Amino acid sequence: MNLHELQVVAAEANAKANAQKRCVRVCMAASCQSSGAGGVLKGLKSLASSDADHDVCVKGVGCMGLCSAGPLVRVSSADDTPDRLYQHVQEKDAKELFASVDDGPVERLACSTDLPFFTRQKRIVLENSGEIDPEQIDDYIAAGGYEPLVRAVTEMAPYDVLRNVTESGLRGRGGGGYPAGLKWTTVARSPEPDKYVICNADEGDPGAFMDRAVLESDPHRVLEGMALAAYAVGAQYGYIYIRAEYPLAVERLEKAIKQATKRGLLGHHICDTPFSFEVEIRLGAGAFVCGEETALIASIEGQRGQPNPRPPYPADEGLWGCPTLINNVETLANIPAIMREGGEWFRSIGTESSAGTKVFALAGRITHTGLIEVPMGITLREIIEEIGGGIPEGRKFKAVQTGGPSGGCLPEEHLDMPVDYDTLRSAGSIMGSGGMIVMDETSSMVEVARYFMEFCMTESCGKCVPCRAGTAQMYELLDKIATSTGTPADLQLLEQLCEVVQACSLCGLGQTAPNPVLSTLRYFRHEYGEKLRPDPLLQPVAAERNGK
């Protein structure tokens, strides 16, 4: 498929959409499906097919974002009236919603699109989510999809793609924030003939669902990002490493790969050029440690998913000993927009050191839970109180945990700080892949630390002693403190273990496992003190002093 053919497909798809201006979109992401969206879509399609007098398009789309209000349905009428969004829709509501295309709104199901949850976002990665059918490549092409790839392979040199990515200032969205352009350049400079591109979709943080939602809502965007990356670095093969617990994302990826290959946008001689790129899916068994690059590579190779010391880094010696570029889903999903609009455009968004936007999964004790995309530099207060709608039931905010099990818990005094890689790190947390869990006054920070330590202990691969034994010992100490059987000596030992595990663990799982403990000790130390009992060895000394 060349550029002209792509534009013809886009024009035909847009003409069809314009002919059917009246459209009903049903969110068919996993969260809405779990609430009955499948029945809603089935009912609406049945009504549309049986009503010859009404030319109405009914289709399933990706995540609309406001997961707490699902299933969500958006209705577009033929006139210029704004789209209407409906929440908590059930199959029995299908007839009433279908009639609302021409009639007035269904007030009892109405959800305002003027909420800050919608108006305060800036969508780049999520620009197609909730708009297109993720199972139809023509929908993606009609939205401008694959044009950056076709232009790149037919009109640009690989260096031009590298230059745009480097100029954009894009940092890896998987957690560490490593500059994408620098990583890509390292792989591109290697003289090795065989290179690989890997999409890390092994999202395992508790409360995180960003990558899953992107893959369910816009799989072709990730494939296009991978193909652009492969062209830039000289790779011929790609793998998407995704956990088997994401069946809907896997299903849609499989369809997308077949569709793109059939159109000549993946596979051999893309756009009749020498560039070839094939993509395969590899399913992970749910090991959190396989999110680490070297453990992920070992798993793809059929070995046990355990990390290896670095260097060598995967960019120099990765999959089967070849140079390998690994980026996560969100990082790759930014690439088509960067190539379409230019690196300088992307750098103009966000902050000087953290360009662009960030996708977050808002969860916990917050009114509006769901998926959001905001510019870097926005404050935590804006995210929680405005976009998230604040704490429900009149309770008070206590802490927000960013970065998953590797992140920290930040108190109210940090709500006005900007959200970027460096500021979060200086406050004792990290950006991570984008999980954001909000806690109210009822949360015990000691129990929060214990929960995340139990997770890290369970997910430790056991290869290195500091992580294998250290996380288990830290969990035991936290359990003692949480159940009010710990002593000041236990707390002192806990802090010492944090330092050892942090400094001596082999990979990021162990190195960052103490973060929830250290951050809660830093900001909520009094909660630990309230649960400690006196050290029995010191009680006789204290009694003797009191007697004197």
Structure tokens at 499: 């330092």
Peptide bond into 71 cis (omega under 30): yes
Q: CA 14 to CA 144: how far, in whole Å?
A: 10
Specify the fold of 453-531. de novo design (two linked rop proteins) (1.20.1440)
For residue 230, the number of C-alpha atoms closer than 13 Å in the C-beta half-sphere is 29
CATH number of 145-347: 3.40.50.10540, 3.30.420.40, 3.40.50.11540, 3.40.50.1220?
Answer: 3.40.50.11540
Q: Cα-flanking dihedrals φ and ψ of residue 424, to 5°?
A: -60, -40
Domain coordinates of the chain in residue numbers?
A: 21-113, 145-347, 357-440, 453-531
Q: CA 195 to CA 192: how far, in whole Å?
A: 7
pLDDT band at 94; cut points 50, 70, 90: very high
pTM: 0.94
CATH number of 357-440: 3.30.1130.10, 3.10.20.600, 3.10.20.30, 3.90.1150.10?
Answer: 3.10.20.600
CATH number of 21-113: 3.40.30.10, 2.40.110.10, 3.40.640.10, 1.20.120.420?
Answer: 3.40.30.10
pLDDT digits (tens, 9 = 90+) for 278-326: 999 999 998 999 999 999 999 999 999 999 999 999 999 999 999 999 9
pLDDT at residue 541 is higher than 70 = no
Q: Is 157 exposed, middle or buried (0-12, 13-18, 19+ CB in 10 A)?
A: exposed
- List the beta bridge partners of residue 197: 238, 325
Beta strand 73-76 with 84-86: parallel, antiparallel or unpaired? antiparallel
472-to-33, 86, 206, 307, 486 alpha-carbon distances in Å: 38, 47, 19, 19, 16
Angle between helices 219-233 and 147-155 (to 10 degrees): 20
pLDDT digits (tens, 9 = 90+) for 511-536: 999 999 999 999 999 999 999 988 76
Helix (H, G, I), strand (E, B) or coil at 364: strand
* Predicted pLDDT of residue 50: 84
* Predicted pLDDT of residue 53: 63
Average pLDDT rounded to a whole number, residues 35-47: 95
**Strand order from edge to edge, sheet including 73-76:** 57-61, 23-27, 73-76, 84-86, 110-111
The yes-or-no answer to whether 357-440 and 453-531 have a common fold is no
